[in-house]
Amino acid sequence: MQKDIVIGNETIPMKATAGTALRYRQVFGGDLLLELANVKKAKDITAVEPVQKLAYIMAVSAGENKERASFKDYMEWLDNFETVDLMEALPEVVYLYNASKAGVSTAKKK
């Protein structure tokens, strides 16, 4: 699933696929689903870091150079945005990721 998400004055194409969680683990070494579950429980500002990382992974996935994803590139990507602009976009990032995981089939037996 792909969607353009506005962060500040920039429109960033983002793509969530079956490879998103794997790419997240490859670049950041963490379990995306577990870290997103912890975000829901936390109440402090540091809890948004996994969602920022997810935004980066989905932005890289929408581009041509998926293999360039790295922590160094992530830090450079973050420097392009104001904190408040990125924070405002995070709900859309999570929505896009969750929508890509939603099942489209219905149960045959009820």
3-state secondary structure of 2: strand
pLDDT tens, 1-27? Answer: 999 999 999 999 999 998 999 999 999
Structural domain range at position 31: 2-97
* 105: in domain: no
94 in Cβ contact with 51 (< 8 Å):
yes
What average pLDDT does this structure show over 81-92?
90
pLDDT of residue 61: 93
Report the CATH number that the domain containing residue 52 is assigned in CATH.
Answer: 1.10.8
Let me know if residue 106 belongs to a domain.
no
Checking if the pLDDT of 47 tops 90, the result is: no
pTM of the model: 0.85
- pLDDT of residue 45 exceeding 70: no
Do residues 52 and 61 touch, judged by C-beta distance below 8 A? no
* First vs last C-alpha separation in the chain: 29
Please state the domain count of the chain: 1
The answer to whether residues 57 and 50 touch, using CB atoms and an 8 Å cutoff, is no
| Average per-residue pLDDT for the chain | 86
Residue 103 confidence class, pLDDT cut points 50, 70, 90: low
